[in-house]
Amino acid sequence: MARRKVVNRRPSTGARRTVTATVTQGSVDLDDRPLTITPARDGKRLLVTLPYEVTVVDARTLQVERSIPMKNAAPSLAEANKDGALWLGGHHLHFGSIFATTYRKVGSKLAGYVDRLSLVRPGLLCGVGSQGEVLWDVAKETPVHRRKIGEHPTFGLVSLGGRAIWADGSASAWVIEPEHASGYTQLRFKHTSEEPPAREGIVALGATTRDRCVLAARDGGVAWFAPNLRLEGERFPRGLAPRQATPLAVAGDERWIYVLRPRGILHRFLVAQLRAHPTEPEEDPPMLPEAQECRLRWPASAMALLQREGQATRLVLGGPQAEGLLGRLWRCDPETLEWRELGLGERRLVEPAPKDDDGKREVPDFTPTRSKISGPPLAELKVDAILGDAGGKVRITTGHGSLLERPVATVAADEVMPADTVVLSAMIRPREGTARPALLLWPGVRDDGERDPPEPVWLVWGDSPRGWTPLTTPKIREQGWSRPDLFPMQVALAGVPKVSGNREALSERWSDAEHFDALARECKHMLKVIW
């Protein structure tokens, strides 16, 4: 006898049921500028590192799923081989998940070894940092290899074929073989000077979808290696200015290698020409140019490549907006960009300097520098002094040391030296809220054309605790604010003096004494910001 099945139906409410499609957007705003973009192993998500934060983004819709707060200004990550687990690096090593905003600390005495992370193979994690390199056994949570050296920068880390490849800014990239970790293999450009100058240093690493390793140097050169680490090709763009040649990110597929450069410039270099179609072998495919360049829609600082089986290549780009205080993530089809041919040349090698047999010494550098600044610390600078008349003087401070403990002195504009940090009086109006006093620290370097000036630093008058506070993500959280509530913000400077040194250009609309006075009167009248 067949069993009767009782179906309980819900009573109808009379409301019409609506099925909505998933909304796909071309770009998404972020709380800060992206540092790196890493596609997840399943291709469904993008892992974007920001200063003090890791953001998980849906790869198809570009919608932010969750944000993981971090305590490091430049966090790094490596996805485990299953279950969406994440290894988070920076000052310490942490273990978390794509699906959670919490994480736990793993190991000890790893500071300076886990600035960058990469999973070499299942169960083996590689970390490199300013103090050395480490291979970490995931199951035992112990290091199987550690090398400590003097402090140095790190510019990239990738894993290919069970090896870890990293760069320290020199003319060589270094290969760590887990089975032979006592000695490292070097990867170099074929055309490298006998005594390589700084411009030949490798400052970006990448990998293609066919497991090629890509090296990018400061002078604009690009080289790629086969999976067996044999050099396959290298290219040198012609006519690039030193500051324009610096690579920011590298990615590639079976056809092209893409190199992101400053000011929204994207280069691509041909790896292999098109092959004849198997059903129409008599028709020759068109010849592709060796190198091309284009200008992106917005300036970008990070890049990743998405390629699923049977689908065209897509680029995911991230960059700053709102004077670099917010970020943006967008996706584009590289074949829809307006490419133009890029000229190629040869690397100009530097001859080794002759040995000094005559006892001649190098000419000393007579650029004036300030050895010490005497004055009260920045934390004791009064708001009334900022809002008042400076009497034609300029406030300066140092570019090093604890931010709020740096001494402040007042000098004439012609006495400011190139390496001095100028303290500019400012008023800001956040996106949400009333106007409040602020300081803009405007650092500089010697104008030699080789170094980029440091970025300006913002300080505002906070409420809790009351005093000057940097506009960094941890301090913003401490005040109970959020970055979208603050930025973009209106800025009014009391004035921008003409001083010596190579300094980052400030927006012309910021220098507005009348707007500065109006915001100062508003701040005093509202009585919402107390000092």
Identify the residue whose tokens are 């192993």.
41
Residue 254 has pLDDT above 60, yes or no: yes
Q: Residue 420 falls within a domain, yes or no?
A: yes
Give bridge partners of residue 321 from the DSSP assignment. Answer: 326
Q: Confirm if 269 and 288 have CB atoms less than 8 A apart.
A: no
Distance of CA 464 to the CA centre of its chain: 30
Angle at 41 between CA 57 and CA 27, to 5 degrees: 25
Domain hosting residue 255, numbered range: 27-272+288-341
Q: Which of the residue ranges 13-22, 200-209, 359-368, 448-457 has the most confident prediction, judged by mean pLDDT?
A: 200-209
Q: Residue 118 falls within a domain, yes or no?
A: yes
**Nearest-angstrom CA–CA distance, 271 and 253:** 9
Same domain, 330 and 406: no
Same domain, 337 and 382: no
Q: Confirm if 171 and 197 have CB atoms less than 8 A apart.
A: no
pLDDT at 178: 94
β-sheet with 93-97: strand ranges across: 76-79, 85-89, 93-97, 104-106
Angle at 393 between CA 387 and CA 394, to 5 degrees: 80
Same domain, 321 and 408: no
Extract the tokens encoding 177: 């073989």
Cβ neighbours of residue 508 under 8 Å, at least 6 residues apart?
A: none
Number of structural domains (the chain) is: 2
**What mean pLDDT comes out for the span 3-22?**
44
Residue 257 belongs to domain with CATH number: 2.130.10.10
Within 13 Å of residue 490, how many CA atoms lie on the same side as its CB?
Answer: 15
Angle at 65 between CA 61 and CA 66, to 5 degrees: 155
Residue 219 has pLDDT above 70, yes or no: yes
pLDDT at 360: 55
Give the C-alpha distances (Å, rounded to integers) separating 325 from 29, 55, 402, 470, 475: 11, 16, 22, 13, 14
Give the model confidence (pLDDT) of 427-469 as tens digits. 999 998 889 999 999 999 877 666 778 999 999 999 988 999 9
Q: 249-253, 283-287, 469-473: which has the minimum mean pLDDT?
A: 283-287
Same domain, 299 and 407: no
**Nearest-angstrom CA–CA distance, 147 and 127:** 11
Q: Residue 501 falls within a domain, yes or no?
A: yes
CA dihedral 308, 310, 311, 315 (to 10 degrees): 40
**pLDDT above 90 covers what percent of the chain?**
74
**Nearest-angstrom CA–CA distance, 90 and 115:** 5
Q: Residue 10 falls within a domain, yes or no?
A: no
**Nearest-angstrom CA–CA distance, 247 and 342:** 16
User: Which secondary structure element, helix H or strand E, spans residue 516, and what is its range?
Assistant: helix 513-526
Q: Residue 11 falls within a domain, yes or no?
A: no
Q: Residue 15 falls within a domain, yes or no?
A: no
Same domain, 96 and 202: yes
**Nearest-angstrom CA–CA distance, 309 and 85:** 24
Same domain, 211 and 138: yes
Average pLDDT, the chain: 89
Q: Confirm if 382 and 423 have CB atoms less than 8 A apart.
A: no
Cβ neighbours of residue 510 under 8 Å, at least 6 residues apart?
A: 426, 491, 492, 493, 496
Residue 5 has pLDDT above 80, yes or no: no
**What mean pLDDT comes out for the span 292-309?**
93
pLDDT at 357: 55
Same domain, 69 and 204: yes
More confident residue, 25 or 67: 67
| Beta strands at 124-128 and 436-442: parallel, antiparallel or unpaired | unpaired
pLDDT at 369: 73
Collapsed DSSP state (helix, strand, coil) of residue 335: helix
Same domain, 318 and 393: no
Residue 105 has pLDDT above 90, yes or no: yes
Q: pLDDT category, 81, cuts 50, 70, 90? A: confident
Q: Residue 19 falls within a domain, yes or no?
A: no
Same domain, 158 and 260: yes
Residue 6 has pLDDT above 50, yes or no: no
Closest C-alpha among 409, 387, 382, 399 to residue 466: 382
Q: Residue 75 falls within a domain, yes or no?
A: yes
Same domain, 99 and 183: yes
Residue 65 has pLDDT above 90, yes or no: yes
Residue 10 has pLDDT above 60, yes or no: no
pLDDT at 361: 61
Within 13 Å of residue 122, how many CA atoms lie on the same side as its CB?
Answer: 4
Same domain, 330 and 423: no
Within 13 Å of residue 468, how many CA atoms lie on the same side as its CB?
Answer: 23
DSSP string, 376-423: -BGGG--HHHHHS--TTEEEEE-SSS-GGG-BEEEEEGGG--TTPEEE
pLDDT at 16: 41
pLDDT at 278: 64
DSSP string, 129-152: -SSEEEEEETTTTEEEEEEE-S--
Same domain, 303 and 396: no
First to last CA, the chain: 86
Residue 20 has pLDDT above 50, yes or no: no
